[in-house]
């Protein structure tokens, strides 16, 4: 929570209000709040809350609506991860609904076709989509409403249409040439032969029909029924290896979130095959630095964050994979003692050009993030993705959604833990976050490929070290380093010139972007103070979205 100005004068309070460091206020409500990167999707979740749904019901409603209004980012052709706080039990649970490679897809199969690296688009980049199975598992365990009630807002949006918002329109237009490579993708997503402009009404009746099939028949419609047939026909038509068994036998996994302490907070991330453990490793490194004393946006704070990122990501790149195929030494990587040893490698005065994985003891995209809190205090942190814009670029005939391209994150290096193998899940960049401090719990996430762990840590540090509320923490200027070595770092122009000059003098090579750059990702957050029963919501201005409270039902 923000630091309280308990000893401040009335003048100090006024000065803080006038000269605050955020562009908009948090949303506050005694009822629930849904936060997503599109107001209509948030509205769908808030409506479900108002009609008796809980946070899980609302999260599925938001996610389904996002598949309508931001189809380049996400949809039922993609994967899903979520963290759920169940207030009745007090427990925090995770779900991994990421899909595996087809049984018939292997390194030898691709090499026989002349591949020298993993395809990034097309049918051989497609893994089994896990989102629908994730919805079903979440709904069965926690949901209050039927799937047809939860999907109703998204069906109405797909049929009635929506005006395409500004940022979404630009991303859509950037994919126009890509979509033209597949006749069905062009038919669905390029009405009149071009990408829709901002404010243009877009409808997707095929997706509405797909959602109706899910509402009537549940997950079986996708993995065994009508939609499965459409997906398999698409795969066969493009020479893919996806089989009926690959779809029918897929199951998401309930997982126990990983955690670490950071100052007085506990931070949760999901275990691999996602990158969340890199965020926890960064926090362990930063806990050894006086981040609060450095001050926000100071060269010392940025330097510590950037150098901790390099070390944590070096380990992540070495070990991240499907843990069902290779053991990942998380017990060592997340140990405070390991962070102590690794922290000694950070030069406080100079940027490092190369970061190597640590020595362990010897022993036997594109994405959408959403968060929801309901009036009872249940919370959901959910992230869902096609990987790249419009995923593989392939749309099953009559289905209204693109198939993901998550398989592109495999490697064809057979010696690497993340090497392609049948029924293996690729490493994933998408991660939901959750943090607990006393009576306060926060669900949060920030999108953007390899940006995500480092963006999570900047958000956490803003809250914990610099006393920001969740809206200010999302809005604050960020950096991102999307490469794993070198001194290059991308930074928003709101970072003061003086600070950038000092960082450059330390050896950081700054790629300066605009004031609110999509390269540093966009996020959402909800928070609850369980002592007061008040909920809070925040939405990143780097996206088109909003945090919307549950409306009154009169």
Calculate helix-pair angle for 205-217, 147-160, nearest 10 degrees. 170
Give the integer Cα–Cα distance in Å for 133 and 229: 16
For residue 411, count CB atoms less than 10 angstroms from its CB and return exposed for 0-12, middle for 13-18, buried for 19 or more: middle
* pTM over 0.85, yes/no: yes
Q: What is the pLDDT of residue 52?
A: 97
Tally of domains in the chain: 2
Check: CB of residue 82 under 8 Å from CB of residue 432. Answer: yes
Say how far apart CA 341 and CA 284 lie, in whole Å. 11
Radius of gyration of the chain from its Cα atoms, rounded to whole angstroms = 22
Q: In this structure, is residue 21 part of a structural domain?
A: no
| 349, 399: one domain | no
Instruction: Let me know whether 128 and 241 are in one domain.
Output: yes
Q: Which of 539, 552, 542 is nearest to 25 (CA)?
A: 539
Looking at residue 237, what is its pLDDT? Answer: 97
List, in sequence order, every residue forming a beta bridge with 379; answer none if it has no partner: 85, 373
Same-domain check for residues 173 and 261: no
6 belongs to a structural domain: no
Say whether both 152 and 246 belong to one domain.
yes
Listed residue (280, 279, 259) closest to 268, CA to CA: 259
Q: What is the pLDDT of residue 365?
A: 54
Indicate if 279 and 383 belong to the same structural domain. Answer: no
CB 486 within 8 A of CB 507: no
Tell me, yes or no, whether 391 and 514 share the same domain.
no
The verdict on residue 96 lying in a domain is yes
d(CA 65, CA 372): 14
Residues 341 and 293 in one domain: yes
What is the Cα–Cα distance from 543 to 518, expressed in whole angstroms? Answer: 8
Say if strands 488-492 and 509-513 run parallel, antiparallel, or are unpaired.
parallel
CA 429 – CA 460 distance, rounded (Å): 18
DSSP state of 122: S
Question: Annotated catalytic sites, by residue?
Answer: 367
Backbone angles phi, psi at 46, to 5 degrees: -65, -35
DSSP 21: S
- Does 206 map to a domain? yes
Q: List Cβ neighbours of 179 (8 Å cut-off, separation of 6 or more).
A: 185, 186, 189, 190, 195, 390, 393
Residues 399, 275 within the same domain = no
For tokens 């459409």, the residue is 230
Which residues face 480 on adjacent strands? 490
- Does the CA dihedral 535-373-467-546 come out positive or negative? negative
In a domain, 8, yes or no: no
Q: Which helix (H) or strand (E) holds 405?
A: none
The predicted-structure confidence for 176-208, as pLDDT tens digits, reads as follows: 999 999 999 999 999 999 999 999 999 999 999
In angstroms, rounded to a whole number, what is the distance separating the alpha carbons of residues 211 and 157? 11
Task: Provide the pLDDT for residue 449.
Answer: 87
Comparing CA positions, the residue from 276, 53, 47, 253 lying closest to residue 157 is: 47
Residue 416 in any domain: the answer is: no
Cβ-contact 450, 275 below 8 angstroms: yes
Comparing CA positions, the residue from 347, 119, 352 lying closest to residue 238 is 119
User: Does 360 map to a domain?
Assistant: yes
Query: Cβ(311)–Cβ(338) under 8 Å?
Result: no
Q: Distance of CA 310 to CAs 126, 254, 537, Å?
A: 30, 30, 31
Instruction: Note the pLDDT tens digit of each residue in 212-270.
Output: 999 999 999 999 999 999 999 999 999 999 999 999 999 999 999 999 999 999 999 99
DSSP 186-199: HHHHSGGGSPPPTT
Confirm if 203 and 159 have CB atoms less than 8 A apart: yes
Q: How many helices (H) and strands (E) does the chain have?
A: 21, 19
Q: How many Cα atoms within 13 Å fall on the side-chain side of residue 178? A: 18
Q: What is the pLDDT along the chain (554 residues), one digit of tens a residue?
A: 444 433 444 555 455 566 777 889 999 999 999 999 999 999 999 999 999 999 999 999 999 999 999 999 999 999 999 999 999 999 999 999 999 999 999 999 999 999 999 999 999 999 999 999 999 999 999 999 999 999 999 999 999 999 999 999 999 999 999 999 999 999 999 999 999 999 999 999 999 999 999 999 999 999 999 999 999 999 999 999 999 999 999 999 999 999 999 999 999 999 999 999 999 999 999 999 999 999 899 999 999 999 999 999 999 999 999 999 999 999 999 999 999 999 999 999 999 998 887 655 433 356 889 999 999 999 999 999 999 899 999 999 999 999 999 999 999 999 999 999 999 999 999 999 999 999 999 999 999 889 999 999 999 999 999 999 999 999 999 999 988 889 999 999 999 999 999 999 999 999 999 999 999 999 999 999 999 999 999 999 999 999 999 998 77
DSSP sequence for 56-111: HHHHHHHHHHHHHH-TTT--TTSEEEEEEEETTTTEEEEEEEPPPPPTT--HHHHH
444 and 526: one domain? yes
Distance CA 301, CA 47 (A): 41
| Residue 480: partners with Cβ closer than 8 Å, 6 or more residues away | 448, 451, 454, 455, 489, 490, 519, 520, 521
H helices of 118-259, where? 131-142, 147-160, 166-174, 176-179, 183-189, 205-217, 220-223, 226-237, 244-248
Whole domain around residue 185: which residue ranges? 29-250+367-409
Q: Residues 199, 106: one domain?
A: yes
Supply the CATH number for residue 269's domain. Answer: 1.10.246.130
The DSSP symbol for 127 reads: -
Q: For the chain, how far is it from start to end, CA to CA, in angstroms? A: 33
Q: What are phi and psi of 243, to 5 degrees?
A: -120, 165
Q: In this structure, are 470 and 326 located in the same domain?
A: yes
Both 308 and 292 in a single domain?
yes
**Strands in 47-204 per DSSP E:** 79-86, 91-97, 162-163, 201-202
Look at residue 418 and tell me if it is in a domain. Answer: no
Task: Return all residues near 249 (Cβ < 8 A) that are at least 6 apart.
Answer: none
């Amino acid at each position: 929570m923000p630091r309280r100005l308990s000893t401040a004068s009335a003048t100090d309070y006024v000065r803080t209000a006038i000269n605050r460091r955020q562009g908009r206020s948090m949303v506050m409500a005694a009822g629930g709040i849904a936060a997503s990167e599109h107001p209509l999707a948030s509205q769908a979740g808030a409506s479900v809350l108002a009609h008796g749904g809980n946070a899980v019901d609302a999260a599925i409603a938001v996610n389904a609506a996002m598949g309508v209004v931001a189809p380049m980012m996400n949809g039922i052709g993609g994967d899903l991860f979520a963290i759920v706080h169940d207030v009745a039990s007090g427990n925090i649970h995770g779900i991994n609904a990421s899909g595996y490679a087809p049984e018939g897809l292997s390194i030898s199969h691709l090499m026989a076709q002349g591949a020298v690296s993993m395809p990034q688009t097309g049918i051989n980049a497609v893994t089994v989509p896990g989102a629908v199975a994730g919805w079903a598992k979440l709904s069965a365990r926690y949901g209050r409403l039927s799937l047809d009630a939860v999907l109703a807002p998204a069906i109405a949006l797909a049929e009635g249409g929506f005006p395409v918002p500004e940022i979404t329109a630009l991303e859509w237009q950037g994919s126009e040439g890509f979509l033209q490579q597949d006749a069905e993708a062009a038919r669905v997503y390029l009405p009149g032969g071009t990408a829709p402009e901002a404010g243009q009404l877009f409808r997707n009746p095929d997706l509405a029909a797909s959602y109706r099939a899910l509402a009537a028949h549940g997950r079986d419609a996708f993995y065994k029924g009508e939609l499965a047939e459409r997906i398999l026909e698409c795969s066969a038509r493009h020479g893919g290896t996806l089989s009926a068994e690959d779809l029918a036998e897929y199951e998401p996994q309930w997982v126990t979130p990983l955690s670490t302490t950071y100052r007085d907070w506990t931070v949760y991330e999901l275990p691999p095959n996602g990158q969340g453990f890199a965020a926890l490793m960064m926090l362990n490194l930063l806990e050894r630095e006086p981040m609060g004393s450095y001050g926000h946006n100071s060269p010392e704070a940025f330097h510590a964050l950037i150098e901790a990122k390099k070390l944590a990501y070096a380990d992540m790149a070495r070990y991240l994979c499907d843990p069902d195929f290779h053991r990942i030494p998380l017990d060592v990587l997340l140990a405070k003692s390991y962070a102590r040893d690794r922290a000694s490698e950070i030069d406080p005065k100079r940027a490092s050009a190369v970061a190597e994985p640590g020595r362990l003891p010897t022993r036997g995209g594109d994405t959408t993030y959403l968060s929801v809190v309901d009036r009872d205090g249940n919370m959901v942190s959910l992230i869902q993705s096609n990987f790249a814009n419009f995923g593989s670029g392939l749309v099953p005939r009559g289905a209204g959604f693109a198939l993901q391209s998550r398989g592109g994150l495999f490697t064809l290096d057979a010696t690497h833990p993340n090497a392609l193998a049948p029924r293996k899940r690729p490493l994933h960049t998408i991660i939901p976050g959750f943090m607990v401090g006393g009576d306060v719990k926060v669900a949060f996430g920030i999108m953007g490929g390899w940006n995500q762990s480092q963006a999570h840590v900047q958000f956490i540090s803003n809250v914990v070290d610099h006393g920001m509320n969740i809206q200010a923490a999302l809005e604050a200027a960020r950096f991102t380093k999307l490469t794993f070595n070198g001194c290059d770092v991308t930074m928003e122009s709101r970072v003061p010139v003086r600070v950038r000059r000092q960082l450059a003098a330390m050896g950081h090579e700054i790629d300066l972007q605009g004031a609110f750059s999509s390269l540093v990702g966009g996020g959402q957050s909800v928070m609850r103070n369980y002592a007061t029963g008040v909920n809070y919501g925040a939405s990143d201005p780097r996206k088109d979205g909003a945090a919307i409270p549950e409306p009154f039902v009169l």
